[in-house]
Amino acid sequence: MDFTVEYEPSPGEVVRALEQALKHQLKALIWLFPAFLVVFGAVFLLLGNIGIGLGMLVAAIVVPFVIPWSLRRAARKQVPFICVPTTLHVTDEGYESRSEKLTTQARWSLFSRVVVTPEFWLFFANKQATGFLPRKAFTPAQQAQLDARLAPLTNPSA
């Protein structure tokens, strides 16, 4: 496998990729934090501390809405650096992304896990989101080659 493509991601595409990657990275936090707030809110209510108990229960309701909003906000900050004409060079060893503003290079061995979505390959190293490649930047044949190369990393054992 050795191919090079020219691509310019759209702002919406970048926001969706980063949001999806962060949701995978923070999956436990997104579920555990509201549960924590409910449990301790109930404890405070039982102990008679109504203000703190109600505050925690309200926060448990609000947090699931605030987290996706904050993820989108954080992702939008990256848009100016990523939404530029980019050259992607992909080989059996890894990939390089080169633009006027940023050049990154990574070997496939860096990644502990790859999440495949209909739109992206999302890359993780030690449970941390580290990058993505947009599927539509590649031809169907190139996508198939990438899917085959990344298949060992797509089974989430981490």
Write out pLDDT tens, residues 31-80.
778 888 899 899 989 999 899 999 999 998 888 788 777 777 776 777 77
Q: What percent of the chain has pLDDT over 90?
A: 42
Give the pLDDT confidence score for residue 28 in this predicted structure.
Answer: 64
Q: Can you give the pLDDT at residue 110?
A: 92
pLDDT in tens, 59-72: 988 887 887 777 77
Q: Do 33 and 91 reside in the same domain of the chain?
A: no
In this structure, the answer to whether residues 97 and 138 fall within a common structural domain is yes
Domain span including residue 31 = 23-76
Residue 155: band (very low, low, confident or very high) from pLDDT cuts 50, 70, 90: low
Within a domain: 96: yes
Indicate whether 38 and 70 sit together in one domain: yes
Report if residue 17 sits inside a domain: no
Strands (E), the chain: 2-7, 86-91, 94-99, 103-107, 113-116, 120-125, 128-134
- Residue 67: per-residue pLDDT: 74
Lookup: tokens for 57: 């229960």
Question: What radius of gyration, in Å, describes the C-alpha atoms of the chain?
Answer: 20
Do 44 and 102 reside in the same domain of the chain? no
- Same-domain pairing of 32 and 64: yes
Give mean pLDDT, residues 84-89.
93
- Asked whether residue 18 is domain-assigned, the answer is no
Query: Is residue 108 domain-shared with residue 133, that is, in the same domain?
Result: yes
| Overall domain count for the chain | 2
Same domain, 46 and 91: no
